[in-house]
Chain A
């Protein structure tokens, strides 16, 4: 009996401490993830991860998402170096881009100091998802695109080291505020627990007509959207009215970004706006603010825009069923658009 008690105590101590340690450490969790000990929580889509609705579970998410060798450009440009700034919508693998040299950074996360080759034409393409236009190009444009973004070390240009992300004092910041999320991923992400989560989600939907507050189902029950996108009360929603002054401000800042990069040696800067999933799959959900069109057709806009919205709006199936992102078809549209630009710049 004594031995059993001691064993139980030791087991509880070791297990709870181990779980707490992994919950506290992002690095430790990543290591376990890399070794395959913890399944990837987004393997069935980020919106499924929020809602756990089985009807929106994509079992072949990887296949629907993966670019193949066939998507790589057959020929590469001799004259153009391509620089791209994107986010989770655009591939980080530079092998898919058609420039002579290709550099891609994830906005805000990566900063790269580059040497522009004066014998080549350096062009920069900036991808922006619709819901972040106001956030990225109004208030934070300087921090995101000028203080970060690409830095050049060419003679005559000011070499800037990227500023570390603003940190709050340890004493005043919320301690380990991601721990619950990490514990959830660590412990309750297996197939068995997902079944229980699906049962809960189904009860909530069937009995109470609700989903997780982070997501919304389209009226025809075919699509799932992030709540911040679909709820007109959200500042990120394309259904929230945007005044002309805000559009003007975005356009002015886009011109400033363009002038900055041209000033440091880029031949041209292009913007490419990706419409939100909700405005592609259920555009009449509420009154659409038409932000992308208002920017693209703004009389004071000096920056060339790679417009993909008309094509994308014809293909709601190019978005994942269980995810807020586009699938491999959307990624191809982006690559074709950018690579076509490279070949035309030749």
Chain B
């Protein structure tokens, strides 16, 4: 069930109304059943796989709390290994298999290593597996650290992993932020509904009007790199940078809004990332729930900034390579992570960290901030090429074409000039909102008229089909 579907619209209305209509004691049950239905609506077998992960971490949490000494650590390690094994088995089997085959030089003997599908024909990669295994792991880690008490109610723990607004693409929550909310007797408040509905609508606008419209260009250009001139490629890279932002932050807005209508407050996942003045600032504004996950559970335990410089750089690169791998079983994602790791290390070595932020608000500092924002955007857009290209060969062809001055000519895109102009206006609108009114929610009496206008615009200018959210694949 996609957020941008009629099925979701009526499911949402039914579940939210039912949630407020039943007694507080039963609300978590309503949410659990609704979440199980939501997840099963993709493919019912996913529920069985997720059920295994839930069972493992539920048991591990209680075990960790009841055990003392070294045993606690062993239980934690075992549960993490189990989670990662699920991920590795379903998501990285083919990747590991083919790379190991190459490494062992089977390639020369013309050895074809069997693919996951042929070895396990009935099994499917569960949608959003990377998200819920990470969320599940954060629970056992926090219980181990003593920041969260083990949850004894199996239903509520299951809801922590299954909670439908953030189940398939985050935000990757922490137990101390969410679990207590499931026990709260949240009463209906107009403000929650107002903010929630507005977030849903704005998220939908970003997805169906902006992201899916830009996809008309990016899908065509990235799908046929050979036939493109440099101008087409530059436009496509620029558009993809905006597309992925609108697609993913649109999903996050809908997730946050859906939860908010029922009174739940989930963590913010995006904070105007393309207004960042440096790569390090970008990562504080982009996919915050994932970057803080890696920071809290990997980078800091590895030593964080407290170790020597060389060790810190190695840690940084390791974390970013892993972050790339988290996104998908492909060298392109790993390279993408590596490029960001490289940016951060270089910025650290050159000492170019946000120096302008200390300047007084002068014309010079504003101009300098603008230049930093543009430069950061260029660096990020450059890295997206690896993220979006269909092969490494395609990625390098894009770079070589863009770098060749003779390859620039009049663009030939799959949209006409009017639509190209509309795309640019929409991008300007997006940046304006991000900069000046990032948290704007209309109040009474303009709320319902605004909802009606945005809904109509979503319908008239939205692209409706079976466009999945990009981050669902992770």
Contacts and interface: CB of A to CB of B under 8 A. Distances in A.
Interface of A: 9, 12-13, 16-17, 19-20, 23, 169-176, 179-180, 183-184, 187, 196, 199-200, 203, 207-210, 213
A17 B18 CA distance: 10
A199 B460 CA distance: 8
Given A184-B6, A207-B419, A208-B416, A16 B14 contact: yes
Given A199-B460, A213-B465, A20 B40 contact: no
B89 interface: no
A172 B43 contact: yes
B122 A172 contact: yes
B459 A200 contact: yes
Nearest to A172: B45
26 contacts: A9-B20, A12-B13, A12-B14, A13-B21, A16-B11, A16-B14, A170-B44, A171-B43, A171-B44, A171-B48, A173-B44, A174-B43, A175-B43, A176-B41, A180-B5, A180-B7, A183-B6, A184-B6, A187-B6, A200-B459, A203-B460, A207-B419, A207-B422, A208-B416, A209-B419, A210-B419
Contacts of A210: 415, 419
B124 interface: yes
Nearest 7 interchain pairs by C-beta: A16-B14, A183-B6, A171-B45, A16-B13, A208-B419, A12-B17, A209-B416
A13 B16 CA distance: 9
Contacts of A207: 418-419, 422
Nearest to A173: B43
B42 interface: yes
Most chain A beta-carbon neighbours within 10 Å: one of B10, B11, B122, B419: B10
A183 B460 CA distance: 19
A20 B122 CA distance: 29
Contacts of A173: 43-44
A183 B124 contact: no
B44 A9 contact: no
Contacts of A203: 460-461
A17 to B, nearest CB: 6
A19 B7 CA distance: 9
A265 B48 CA distance: 52
Interface in B85-124: 122, 124
A13 B7 CA distance: 15
Majority DSSP secondary structure for residues of B touching A: helix
Nearest to A170: B44
Contacts of B124: 172
Most chain B beta-carbon neighbours within 10 Å: one of A169, A170, A208, A213: A208
Contacts of A200: 459-460
Given A20-B11, A171-B45, 14 more contacts: A9-B17, A16-B10, A16-B11, A23-B6, A169-B45, A169-B122, A173-B43, A175-B40, A175-B41, A179-B7, A203-B460, A208-B415, A208-B416, A208-B422
Interface in B1-33: 5-7, 10-11, 13-14, 17-18, 20-21
Contacts of A209: 416, 418-419
Contacts of B461: 203
A172 B399 CA distance: 41
A218 to B, nearest CB: 19
Nearest to A181: B6
A191 B48 CA distance: 44
Contacts of A23: 6-7, 10
Nearest to A175: B41
A9 to B, nearest CB: 5
B10 A19 contact: yes
B41 to A, nearest CB: 5
A213 B21 CA distance: 42
A175 B6 contact: no
Nearest to A200: B460
Nearest to A174: B43
Contact of B18 (A13, A176, A180): A13
Nearest to B48: A171
A128 to B, nearest CB: 29
B194 to A, nearest CB: 16
Contact of A174 (B17, B42, B459): B42
A210 B422 CA distance: 14
Contacts of A199: 460
A42 to B, nearest CB: 19
Interface string B329-373: 000000000000000000000000000000000000000000000
A190 to B, nearest CB: 15
Contacts of A12: 13-14, 17
Contacts of A16: 10-11, 13-14, 17
Interface string B414-440: 011011001000000000000000000
A103 to B, nearest CB: 39
Contact of B10 (A9, A20, A196): A20
A19 B8 CA distance: 12
Contacts of B416: 208-209
A52 to B, nearest CB: 12
Contacts of B20: 9
B418 A208 contact: yes
Nearest to A197: B459
B16 to A, nearest CB: 9
